[in-house]
Amino acid sequence: MSTKIVIAGGFGAGKTTLVRSVSEIEPVTTEALMTDASAAHDDITETPSKTTTTVAMDFGRLTLDQQLIMYMFGTPGQARFWFMWDDLVRGAVGAVIVADPRRLADCFDAVDYFEQHSRIPYVVGLNKFDGNLDYTPEQVREALEISPEVPILPFDARNRLESGNVLKDLLTHALAYEKSDAEPVG
């Protein structure tokens, strides 16, 4: 059996890094060099060493056991590429919104997409750049106005084990979400 997971979030939050850290195959990426033309659109103040950006999607695979394979589809982070999101999300069982705690506003649109335009369960992965988090998950929940049932999970996207745990937590959340959706009301 296979399952599709979407990795979403703002520009430079760590989506490609997450896919690369857990994929058992060489990930397919659509990284392109950033140019002077993108400078007006892509703020690299907090990520000055960033020289490439995803322009279509990332793809990776992770075999969880003999009966379950996870396919990961990473979205581009910039608004100019959001026209692809509906196609990338179609058929997914859940999503991880990767958030850079230094630039929380960059993930507002991804949160809005999954809250307003999709019935797909999601978790928020707080990517610990430089191993630090300046905010607690509850502070982030309040800032992003995320409901209490959505898990907020600190992790380092470069770390295979921590990234894998975020994906496992997403699957657990998606199963609970599916079960609660199936239960009759009243």
Summarize pLDDT for 83-112 with one digit per residue, the tens: 677 888 899 999 999 999 888 998 998 999
Name which residue leads in pLDDT, 175 or 184: 175
pLDDT at residue 186 in the model:
42
pLDDT at 174 over 60: yes
Task: Supply the pTM of this predicted model.
Answer: 0.82
pLDDT at 42 over 50: yes
pLDDT at residue 75 in the model:
86
pLDDT at residue 82 in the model:
64
Confidence at 5, pLDDT banded by 50, 70, 90 = very high
Confidence at 57, pLDDT banded by 50, 70, 90 = confident
| Domains with residue ranges and CATH for the chain | 2-182 (3.40.50.300)
CB contact at 8 A, 144 and 135: no
pLDDT at residue 167 in the model:
96
- What is the rounded average pLDDT of the residues 33-54? 55
**Strands, E assignment, the chain:** 2-9, 28-33, 52-65, 68-74, 94-99, 122-127, 152-155
How many Å is the Cα radius of gyration of the chain? 16
CB contact at 8 A, 94 and 168: no
